[in-house]
Amino acid sequence: MKLNELKIGQTARITSVGGEGSLRQHLLDMGMIPGAEVTLIKYAPMGDPMELRIHDYELTLRLAEAKEIEVKDEGLKMKDNNIINIQETNLSSPALDSSSIIPHPGLGEGGHFHDNSPEAHTKPLPSSMRLTFALAGNQNCGKTTLFNQLTGANQHVGNFPGVTVEHKIGIIKGHPEAQIIDLPGIYSLSPYTSEEVVSRQYIINRRPTAIINIVDATNIERNLYLTLQLMELGVPMVLALNFMDELKGNGGTIRVNAMEHLLGIPVIPISAMKNEGVDELVEHALHIARYQERPQRQDFCHPNDHGGAVHRCLHAIMHLTEDHCQQAHIPSRFAACKLVEGDERVLEALKLSQNEKETLEHIIQQMEEERGLDRQAAIADMRFQFIHSVTQRTVVKPRESREHRRSQLIDRVLTGRWTALPSFILIMGLVFYLTFTSVGVWLQDLCQAGIDWFTEVSDTALTNWNIAPAVHSLIIDGIYNGVGTVLVFLPLIVCLFFFLSMLEDTGYMARIAFVTDKLLRRLGLSGRSIVPLLIGFGCSVPSIMASRTLPSERDRRMTILLTPFMSCTAKIPIYAFFATAFFPSHAGWVMASLYAIGIVVGIVVALILKRTMFRGEPVPFVMELPNYRLPMAKNVMRLLWDKAKDFLQRAFTVIFLASIIVWFLQTFNFHMQMVTDAHDSMLAQVAGLVAPLFEPLGLGDWRIMTALVSGFMAKETVVSTLGALFGDVVLTTIFTPTVVFALLVFCLLYTPCVAAIATIRRELGTRWAVGIAVAQCHIAWFCAWLVVII
């Protein structure tokens, strides 16, 4: 039977994994190998995708992909241990039973030199040499938390797979010579998403001095899969078992000495969140790096495993390609595995002759025939068998964790068939209500009162000091008016980011992706796109970068194109400024309608793109659902401080500069004479040239034009510029509500700010960046025109 035919709660064993290419490899890397047991937990509210339990973790998969996987129902019941039929002879080291006491192997510790080469004993790396550590691990296993502990940095940590999208560099505290690079989370060294490519390229090409591999101890089987591949690279490596506190708290444990003995690398139990075991980890990491202690084991196949088919195949390839590997500086064991898996990049790098390529193919075909599995499945199976042999000897499985039980209960509501969508709407509604009508507005009023008081005090002081009118005007009308008008919106922005970070840190963001996948697929997107899109309500820059977690270029491009339609927090000042002035009793509704218009236009554009530029289906939805966790106050506060700091930096840089420039241009004419009427200023004359284009929208005022142009630098400046240009003029006497609404729609949809455009350029290239800016201006003009004529 097919996997999609399973009933909820039913457990079956995988017999074959169909499909092709990198998706199939990804599925195998995630543990979907023949022989593994899989249990169907539930379907998403719209019937697709499905949530599965495999190797003690939850994975989502669409029905279309599930159809490719054959399973056999053997009347199995859901068990903790998912792999069965493992050959116990897989480890060539002395047999260990669970009661054996293994003396501490002391790997990575002073006084022990475990490298066999004589140079290593006598010649540790010079103490002045910079040590570079790569911090690698699966997604959502606590890498960034550990990075922050190691370096004292303040990188954002989330409870969503793929928070880190590009590598970050820091210096280990107390060790200025030791540099550490936080890499995006990866499941294996077979690149599937672009973030995985970043990590793989770094580890393979940049050759760090050593690797710190962090694994989630509560989900160790799947995590060790990457560990084995990293060990194959032959780079000195230390293994950090994170979440050990959680594992022990639920009655489980790991026999660290035994694991260290079996893997041949130092193994350190830690809790990155509680900063436990981190110092010990640093000591070991520094030691293995200085003495270049490489993993003692790189060979995970065994001559007795299924007649030794995989073992003979890998070793034959290692001999065949040895000289090429040396020339290409690729470890031969790693290269052999990748060649069997059909990794084109490795094959290209090795520059094999035609004859060697043919020999290689023959060896692999022989292995497939003897092993009874195709090449990719055989390698994945070999690794998982070794992992199982290790974990069987070293891991005492916990009872179902409290966190998991709690997650299951919460998920009954938040991903339940009838409750998921109402919950989503309710939660998002609450977020916007609290931000824009209650808490946020209360804080904003407080902020406004403070700024007003400060402006008044400064104004009085300047008058008392007999400051010249021009300088007085520059400070009060230019700087205070410009910066102050924007600063007042700081509370709203911090509030929205607070709620978005809560959604992410708790693990709900991943559920939103699961629930909305089917809906988004109709628009040509994948469920994972919902995360960048939701972040887009905060700021387009991180949102565009978050799109890197999407596994296909098509989905990524399409998501990036749609992100600017999600109204970012920088536009809130514009909405609030006009909504309170023109629609005082319906300000909340006007703001809500603008968000809705952004979403609707985004949907229309998505449908057009799906039928034109981005034909075809979005890529499969394979994602891990993390347990719900309570967000750490420190983490949330850190994020809020970061956002507030970023906003304040903008206010006191871009907006400060823009305010002075605008003040100068509107106060002087081309003869550098102060003007009494702003209509005679330089600004009025230049902006007047563009104004006719906006006549049909009723926005042909030069002041509006100036504000819109300045908005390209940062959206907040639109309001500060308007504030400076209109001064004490009552806006309601100049514009009608229809024209103002058209202006708001234009501001909502027109070109993203320069930072967002630069990020798009970095991600997609100049052509796309320019194309998006121009296209959005056209769309904005058209939609604003529709508002006017309707």
Please identify which residue in 1, 129, 169, 396 interacts with other proteins, judged by CB under 8 A: 169
Alpha-carbon gap, residue 369 to 377, rounded angstroms = 13
656 scored as a contact of other proteins (CB under 8 A)? yes
Q: Name which position in 660, 690, 709, 788 contacts other proteins (CB under 8 A).
A: 660
Provide the minimum distance between the beta carbon of 432 and other proteins in the complex, in angstroms, as a whole number.
21
How far apart are alpha carbons 235 and 115 in whole angstroms?
Answer: 12
Question: Binding marks (x or -) toward other proteins, 681..720, rule CB under 8 A?
Answer: ----------------------------------------
Judged on CB neighbours under 10 Å (0-12, 13-18, 19+), 177 is middle
Residue 754 touching other proteins (CB under 8 A): yes
Residue in the block written with tokens 């806006």: 731
Binding to other proteins in span 320-349, by CB under 8 A: none
Distance CA(747)–CA(227), nearest Å, equals 49
Q: State the minimum distance, in angstroms, from the CB of residue 207 to other proteins.
A: 20
DSSP 8-state class, residue 33: -
Q: Characterise 606 by phi-psi region: left (phi > 0), alpha (psi -120 to 50), beta (else).
A: alpha
> Contact letters (x/-) for other proteins, 226-265, by CB under 8 A?
----------------------------------------
Please report how close the Cβ of residue 553 comes to other proteins at its closest, in angstroms. 20
Which residue's CB is nearer to other proteins, number 337 or number 535? 535
C-alpha distances in Å from residue 749, one per residue of 389, 432, 523, 692, 781: 57, 20, 19, 20, 8
> Residues 131, 510, 654, 744: which binds other proteins (CB under 8 A)?
654
Total chain residues near other proteins (CB under 8 A): 40
DSSP secondary structure letter of residue 36: B
Pick the binder of other proteins from 166, 280, 370, 617 (CB under 8 A): 166
Q: What is the DSSP string of 676-726?
A: SSGGGSHHHHHHHHHGGGGGGGT---HHHHHHHHHTTT-THHHHHHHHHHH
Question: Residues 121-150: x/- map of binding to other proteins (CB under 8 A)?
Answer: ------------------------------
The CA distances from residue 366 to 152, 357, 360, in Å, are 52, 14, 10
Find the farthest-apart pair of alpha carbons in the chain and give their distance in angstroms, rounded: 96
Binding flag, residue 539, other proteins (CB under 8 A): yes
Q: Are 213 and 237 in contact, with CB atoms under 8 Å apart? A: yes
Which of 555, 693, 534 has the alpha carbon at shortest distance from 598?
Answer: 534
Dihedral-angle region of residue 372 (phi above 0 means left; psi in -120 to 50 means alpha; beta otherwise): left
Q: How far apart are CA 300 and CA 385, in angstroms?
A: 9
Shortest distance (Å) from residue 652 CB to other proteins = 7
Q: Which of 76, 758, 775, 777 binds other proteins (CB under 8 A)?
A: 758
Residue 768 is a binding residue for other proteins (CB under 8 A): no
When the beta carbons of 130 and 778 are compared against other proteins, the nearer one is 130
Residue of 161, 295, 491, 542 that binds other proteins (CB under 8 A): 542
- Listed in sequence order, the DSSP H helices in 372-507 are 375-394, 402-414, 420-436, 439-464, 469-473, 481-487, 490-506
Which one of residues 387, 475, 606, 745 is an interface residue with other proteins (CB under 8 A)? 475
Q: Across the strands, what pairs with 54?
A: 38, 57
How do 253-254 and 237-242 pair as beta strands?
unpaired
User: Of these, 5, 109, 115, 156, which contacts other proteins (CB under 8 A)?
Assistant: 156
Q: Does 206 bind other proteins (CB under 8 A)?
A: no
CB nearer to other proteins: give 611 or 645. Answer: 645
Q: What is the DSSP string of 321-375?
A: HHHHHHHHT--HHHHHHHHHHT-HHHHHHHT--HHHHHHHHHHHHHHHHHHSS-H
Among 657, 731, 734, 770, binds other proteins (CB under 8 A): 657
Q: Rounded to an integer, what distance in angstroms lies between the CA atom of residue 18 and that of residue 713?
A: 50
Q: Which of 351, 645, 679, 778 binds other proteins (CB under 8 A)?
A: 645
State the SS3 of 312-327: HHHHHHHHHHHHHHHH
C-beta of 483 vs 587, nearer to other proteins: 483
CB of 573 to other proteins, least distance (A): 17
Residue 154 found at the interface with other proteins (CB under 8 A) = yes
- Residue closer to other proteins by CB (options 57, 133) is 133
Closest CB 760 distance from other proteins, rounded Å? 10
Q: Which is nearer to other proteins, 526 or 635 (CB)?
A: 635
Query: Residue 560 interacts with other proteins (CB under 8 A)?
Result: no
State the CB neighbour count (10 A cutoff) for residue 541: 21
Site residues (vs other proteins, CB under 8 A): 153-156, 166-170, 465-468, 470-471, 474-475, 479, 539, 541-542, 545, 638, 642, 645-646, 652-654, 656-657, 660, 754-759, 761-762
